[in-house]
Amino acid sequence: MDDAFLAVESAKLNIKGEKIHHYYDNDLRVFNDEMFDAIVTNPPFHFEHEINIQVTLELFKECFRCLKENGNLQIVANHHLNYKTHLSPLFSSVKVVAEDKKFVVYKCEK
């Protein structure tokens, strides 16, 4: 899901499958509770010239709501944002599955 058409089209080129769905939108409230087995995201934090993680923190809460029990959220993010601090209170497990000096990939289990 993204509110940028080109981002959605790029995602369609990178991940395909019968159970893979792409949405052009910016609000998870259109989805029911416990609807997804997994959500994969590169969450936003740039809004024009401003860095703001408040939108991202709300996205994490909405992802938790939308995930089925034992579902997982996978996130690629800039290392310096330290999202683990914000994800750990929501999810039963938050693991770093890959990282380098700039980026980190988290797997969060509900």
* Number of residues written out for the chain: 110
The topology (CATH level 3) of 5-109 is Rossmann fold (3.40.50)
Most confident of 5-14, 43-52, 58-67: 58-67
CB 83 within 8 A of CB 61: no
Share of the chain above pLDDT 70, in %: 98
Please state the domain extents for the chain.
5-109
pLDDT at 99 over 80: yes
Q: Smallest Cα–Cα separation from 76: which of 105, 53, 48?
A: 105
pLDDT band per the 50, 70, 90 thresholds, residue 27 = confident
pLDDT at 47 over 70: no
If residue 55 lies in a helix (H) or strand (E), which one and from where to where? Answer: helix 54-66
pLDDT at 31 over 90: yes
Q: Specify burial of residue 83 (Cβ count, 10 A radius: 0-12, 13-18, 19+).
A: buried
In this structure, which amino acid lies at residue 110? K
| CA–CA separation, 24 and 46 (whole Å) | 18
